[in-house]
């Protein structure tokens, strides 16, 4: 039976705030094999009954079930639409119409904004990070058909209607290049309003906008007053319309949030609470009129989805006393979010919690790696009885909390940790017979959860939490197996474009608060931009999204940004060798000189390798969208750079000029090795590995590709051996030391329990988690095909090894779930796999002896093993390996 499942709009299930012609996708299920969509019919209506069609494609003879556009359709502002589709397949079977999907449009033109930004703060509040309330009452005398609210803030906000918080958003509107792009949120508030009197309320905090940020904790980077913007479109049953706006008639006052900032936590004084402040009929005679702020509406951009939310909750695992006598709560997992607690204290009594990541070697509270970040929650009781508190405008990175003060009996059931991050669908799973690798996968996933809070931060705990481009570039492919990152990364990449220098340079962090805003870190030059492998996020991340999702829109959106970055490198290269001012090199590699963070691999080699790699990727993307002239130009540039690399970084006898692991890794993985020296270069890499007793000494540049460079060149056993090392330095060393996330340093905690350092030692730093894509791409063997991106066609090629008895993984592509499960019994392998409807796959079985059962697959033997092309369906193949 053929069925349409899960219709999505712009990769989202029910987006709020669509402002352009959306794209549609759907997943098909069938109990048959080799099923391909032959035709579809897509309908859009303003009524769930589909009695009022605004678009009907009629029958379209096309097999594409993703990236489908409704030609000529453009939504109208403040309108809810319903979408459904039915499909015909190559077996002549036709589905019924799918269950309707829905989306709500934003304001199509920024000229439609009538509201003003308003503030309850004064200019004297510039250096204060307090909370403020804003409120407005309105009366509705007619029956409502639809009510849509558009809201955002200069700072952070919670929006209320009649005392109830609207939506599940947290840390809204997020962090963007505020001077260029400020996201607004769209809410359907029809059910929140009633005939008669209503109240609108907003609670505003400083957030990234005006809190103290960066290495020097500079205040009010973007503005001096936190503000709020609200515009509500009311559509009545009688056909009339009304718009309610924020303006200086709204009233404001200070809230019980005495202090709240990203790094330091929050102080909340319950004695300042005003019960009913966001309800109709509240006595606000002592409140002040708000102040209208001058802000250009041109910067406003709708946010359809991927908003920050409370995703899950964790209970207390234990409460214990440290040797120093501190009371500590342990949630058992390093996470990003906050702690909610219940308390019943007398007026003036306090709850004070100091959040932190790890215990020191003696089992005591360790705060040094937070640097100046306080990560403290302070609640002042008002004596009104038992209450529940959770923070409003901050988040913490922690596993533990020191209880500095708590009135009454300390019970585990009174504390809950909420895991907070951008709302992304989980798309990948991996497990195997080795429990340490399963824990590694767990740690990688939790590193993603901990650092994908609106921007891809480097770490969630210390006084940094910045959108470092290098970390995001390194981890992008792995992240895109684990979760649907398209909306998350495409949003961030727009900020990258906005913050590029006029010459095309790419800042180290996005949003950029280093260049011309705050004094850089002592380790940085004055120009905090254009470091190789960091700035290359401008090209590598769009390429990864294109490869994983098959969506050319990301190429169009980022095209000028990518081109500008390639041209920047060209403008600053000399005879094809690229290196620009300050570089991070192979950051925190273990082959660095004493006292240095920079690895031993020369900057010129790393820079030129990435110059070649990024120019080649850009050329491929230019070709994909029909920019043939650019393709020719930049592909030739790519070939020229490759020639320069081969000439300058290989000797006449084929040895690399830099005898480091990272030099060999990037040369092999980026395909920069002269063909006749490939085998020799791979052998040299293995020799360098053996020189370190099978250990890596790589940093941010070499580590992500190490296992790939080995397995792609015939050294799968060595790749497994490297992965499975459990002494320092290795991925599994951290697990042996009790890690629940990925660490910034291989020996963040040393063998004797002492710390690597205090100044830069995050225990939730996802970059080295980039090994995750090797688990998916090689161990279980789910690999994209760049000739048919988006997994329309893909490869399945599991590499058996590592002493594993089994490995299994799933990846939910835009076409449906791919699954692979292999089990080993001696030399016999049983392989089960699933190919989604409307896709095909090439099965490649390497190092194979013979096929026992082929499940009808026609295999061809070649130098790589056995290969066969399959259509959709479930398959079972057994074979023996050499």
With tokens 């399945």, the residue in question is: 796
> Regarding beta strands 80-89 and 101-105, do their DSSP bridges make them parallel or antiparallel, or are they unpaired?
antiparallel
- Catalytic member of 464, 604, 783, 867: 464
Determine contact, residues 199/185, Cβ cutoff 8 Å: no
| Cα–Cα nearest to 670, from 620, 587, 612, 605 | 612
DSSP 124: G
- CA diameter of the chain: 87
Instruction: For residue 511, say if its preceding peptide bond is cis, omega within 30 degrees of 0.
Output: yes
Classify burial at 415, counting beta carbons within 10 Å of its beta carbon; exposed 0-12, middle 13-18, buried 19 or more: buried
| Cα–Cα nearest to 569, from 603, 617, 535 | 535
| Cα–Cα nearest to 149, from 17, 2, 4, 12 | 17
Return phi, psi of residue 497, to 5°: -60, -45
- 751 assigned to active site: no
Three-class DSSP labels, 189-205: CCCCCCCEEEEEEEEEE
Classify burial at 721, counting beta carbons within 10 Å of its beta carbon; exposed 0-12, middle 13-18, buried 19 or more: middle
CB 682: neighbour CB atoms within 10 A? Answer: 21
CB 666: neighbour CB atoms within 10 A? Answer: 28
DSSP 60: B
Taking the C-alpha atoms of 782, 786, 788 and 792 in order, what is their torsion angle to the nearest 10 degrees? 20
Helix (H, G, I), strand (E, B) or coil at 209: helix
Tokens (6 digits) for 788? 């048919």
DSSP track, 341-353: EEE---TT-EEEE
Tokens (6 digits) for 840? 């095909």
Return phi, psi of residue 28, to 5°: -105, 140
Determine contact, residues 304/15, Cβ cutoff 8 Å: yes
CB 577: neighbour CB atoms within 10 A? Answer: 17
Distance CA 330, CA 320 (A): 8
With tokens 């099978």, the residue in question is: 694
- From residue 668, give the alpha-carbon distance in Å to each of 224, 575, 678, 679, 826: 51, 22, 7, 10, 32
610, HSE (Cβ side, Cα atoms, 13 Å): 32
Who contacts 405 (Cβ-Cβ below 8 Å, separation ≥6)? 349, 350, 351, 352
Distance CA 791, CA 134 (A): 49
Distance CA 620, CA 540 (A): 12
> Regarding beta strands 101-105 and 865-870, do their DSSP bridges make them parallel or antiparallel, or are they unpaired?
unpaired
| Cα–Cα nearest to 377, from 358, 359, 399, 395 | 395
Distance CA 255, CA 202 (A): 10
With tokens 């290098």, the residue in question is: 470
Distance CA 199, CA 18 (A): 27
- 744 assigned to active site: yes
- From residue 252, give the alpha-carbon distance in Å to each of 200, 255, 272, 287, 834: 12, 9, 14, 6, 58
**Catalytic residue annotation:** 464, 744
């Amino acid at each position: 039976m053929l069925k349409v499942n899960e219709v999505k709009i712009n990769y989202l299930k029910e987006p709020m705030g669509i402002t352009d012609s959306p794209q549609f996708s759907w997943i098909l299920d069938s109990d048959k094999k080799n099923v391909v969509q032959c035709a579809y019919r897509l309908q859009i209506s303003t009524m769930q009954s589909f009695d009022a069609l605004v678009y009907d494609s009629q029958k379209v003879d096309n097999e594409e079930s993703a990236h489908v556009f409704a030609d000529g359709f453009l939504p109208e502002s403040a309108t809810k639409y319903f979408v459904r589709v039915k499909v015909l397949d190559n077996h002549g079977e036709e589905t019924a119409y799918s269950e309707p999907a829905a989306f709500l449009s934003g304001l199509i033109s920024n000229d439609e904004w009538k509201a003003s930004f308003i503030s309850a703060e004064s200019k004297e509040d510039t250096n204060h990070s307090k909370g403020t309330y804003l409120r407005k009452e309105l009366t509705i005398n007619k029956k409502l058909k639809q009510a849509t609210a558009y809201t955002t803030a200069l700072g952070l906000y919670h929006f209320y209607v009649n005392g109830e918080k609207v939506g599940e958003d947290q840390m809204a509107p997020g962090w963007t290049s505020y001077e260029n792009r400020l996201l607004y949120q769209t809410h359907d508030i029809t059910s929140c309003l009633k005939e008669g009197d209503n109240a609108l309320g907003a609670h505003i905090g400083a957030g990234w906008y005006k809190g103290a940020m960066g290495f020097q904790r500079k205040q009010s980077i973007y503005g001096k007053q936190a503000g709020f913007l609200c515009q509500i479109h009311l559509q009545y049953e009688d056909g009339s319309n009304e718009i309610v706006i924020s303006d200086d008639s709204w009233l404001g006052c200070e809230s019980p949030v005495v202090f709240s900032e990203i790094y330091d936590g929050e102080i909340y004084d319950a004695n300042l609470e005003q019960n009913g402040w966001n309800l109709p009929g509240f006595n606000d005679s002592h409140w002040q009129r708000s102040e209208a702020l001058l802000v250009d509406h041109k910067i406003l951009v709708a946010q359809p989805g991927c908003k920050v939310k409370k995703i899950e909750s964790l209970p207390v695992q234990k409460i214990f006393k440290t040797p120093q006598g501190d009371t500590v709560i342990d949630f058992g997992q390093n996470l990003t979010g906050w702690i909610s607690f219940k308390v019943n204290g007398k007026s003036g009594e306090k709850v004070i919690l100091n959040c932190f990541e790890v215990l020191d070697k003696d089992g005591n509270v360790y705060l040094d790696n937070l640097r100046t970040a306080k990560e403290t929650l302070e609640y002042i009781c008002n004596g009104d009885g038992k209450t529940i508190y959770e923070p409003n405008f901050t988040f913490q990175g922690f596993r533990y909390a020191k209880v500095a003060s708590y009135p009454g009996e300390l019970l585990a059931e009174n504390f809950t940790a909420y895991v907070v991050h951008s709302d992304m669908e989980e798309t990948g799973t991996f497990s195997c017979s080795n429990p340490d690798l399963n824990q590694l996968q767990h740690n990688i996933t939790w590193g993603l959860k901990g650092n994908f809070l609106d921007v891809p931060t480097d770490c969630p705990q210390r006084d940094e939490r910045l959108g470092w481009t290098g970390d995001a570039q390194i981890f992008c492919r792995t992240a895109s197996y684990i979760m649907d990152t398209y909306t998350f990364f495409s949003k961030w990449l727009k900020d990258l474009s906005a913050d590029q220098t006029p010459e095309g340079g790419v800042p180290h962090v996005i949003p950029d608060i280093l260049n011309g805003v705050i004094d850089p870190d002592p380790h940085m030059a004055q120009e905090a931009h254009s470091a190789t492998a960091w700035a290359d996020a401008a090209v590598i991340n769009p390429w990864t999204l294109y490869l994983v999702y098959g969506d050319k829109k990301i190429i169009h959106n980022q095209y000028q940004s990518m081109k500008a970055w390639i041209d920047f490198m060209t403008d600053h290269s000399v005879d094809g060798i690229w290196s620009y001012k300050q570089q991070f090199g192979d950051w925190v590699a273990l082959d660095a000189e004493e006292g240095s963070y920079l690895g031993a691999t020369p900057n010129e080699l790393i820079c030129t390798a990435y110059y070649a790699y990024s120019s080649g990727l850009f050329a491929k993307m230019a070709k994909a969208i029909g920019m043939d002239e650019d393709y020719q130009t930049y592909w030739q540039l790519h070939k020229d750079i490759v020639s320069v690399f081969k000439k300058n970084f290989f000797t006449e006898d084929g040895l690399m000029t830099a005898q480091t692991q990272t030099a060999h890794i990037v040369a092999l993985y980026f395909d920069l090795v002269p063909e006749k020296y490939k085998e020799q270069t791979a052998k040299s890499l293995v020799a360098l590995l053996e020189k370190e007793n099978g250990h890596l000494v790589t940093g941010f540049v070499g580590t992500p590709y190490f296992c790939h460079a080995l397995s792609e060149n015939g050294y799968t056993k060595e790749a497994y051996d490297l992965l499975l090392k459990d002494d320092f330095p290795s991925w599994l060393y951290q697990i042996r030391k009790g890690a629940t996330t990925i660490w910034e340093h291989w020996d963040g905690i040393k063998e004797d329990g002492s710390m690597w350092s205090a100044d830069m030692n995050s225990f939730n730093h996802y970059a080295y988690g980039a090994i995750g894509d090797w688990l998916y791409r090689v161990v279980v063997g789910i690999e994209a095909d760049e000739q048919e991106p988006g997994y329309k066609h893909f490869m399945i090629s599991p590499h058996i090894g590592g002493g594993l008895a089994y490995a299994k993984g799933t990846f939910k592509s835009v076409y449906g779930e791919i699954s692979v499960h292999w089990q080993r019994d001696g030399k016999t392998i049983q392989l089960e796999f699933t190919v989604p409807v409307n896709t095909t796959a090439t099965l490649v079985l390497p190092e194979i002896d013979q096929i026992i059962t082929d499940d009808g697959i026609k295999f061809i033997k070649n130098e790589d093993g056995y290969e066969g092309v399959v259509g959709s369906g479930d398959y079972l193949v057994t074979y023996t390996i050499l």
